[in-house]
């Protein structure tokens, strides 16, 4: 029944590791996003996909690579994790006129 789901909810890992976060939406939306929320709660867009195509790629290290196998899924792969990558990552989706619907977030902690 969940509209936008993310896995895992928590991710604790060592520096230098590679990890992935998965996102799925069952709303039929064409557009999906990844946002990063830092320790001060500030939300910033990272990527935006429309119908599986990358539309927006903000100033994000190329260690971050999104992949959209179909328009219901948008995964985020992170290589060579650094301490500064620790944050909460939110997936969202939207359709014209709906506003954005957010997933529950993935809290990433890099040790």
Q: For binding to other proteins (CB under 8 A), which residues are involved? A: 4, 30-31, 33, 35, 40-45, 48, 50, 56, 90, 92, 94-105
Minimal distance, residue 91 CB to other proteins, in Å: 9
Minimal distance, residue 80 CB to other proteins, in Å: 25
- Nearer to other proteins (CB atom), residue 48 or residue 68: 48
Give, as one character, the DSSP assignment of residue 37.
Answer: E
- Contact between 101 and 93 under an 8 Å Cβ cutoff? The reply is yes
- Nearer to other proteins (CB atom), residue 5 or residue 65: 5
* Spatial CA neighbour of 74 closest among 45, 97, 98, 96: 45
- Nearer to other proteins (CB atom), residue 40 or residue 62: 40
Radius of gyration of the chain, Cα coordinates, nearest whole angstrom = 13
Minimal distance, residue 51 CB to other proteins, in Å: 10
* Spatial CA neighbour of 35 closest among 108, 110, 98, 102: 102
- Nearer to other proteins (CB atom), residue 64 or residue 101: 101
Q: Which two tokens stand for residue 26?
A: 């069952």
């Amino acid at each position: 029944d969940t509209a936008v789901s993310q896995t895992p909810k928590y991710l604790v890992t060592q520096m230098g590791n590679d990890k992935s976060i998965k996102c799925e939406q069952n709303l039929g939306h064409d557009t999906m996003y990844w946002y990063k929320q830092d320790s001060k709660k500030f939300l910033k867009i990272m990527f935006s996909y429309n119908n599986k195509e990358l539309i927006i790629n903000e100033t994000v290290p190329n260690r971050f690579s999104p992949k959209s196998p179909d328009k219901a899924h948008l995964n985020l792969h992170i290589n060579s994790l650094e301490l500064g990558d620790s944050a909460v990552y939110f997936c969202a989706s939207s359709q014209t006129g709906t506003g954005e619907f957010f997933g529950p977030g993935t809290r990433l902690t890099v040790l």
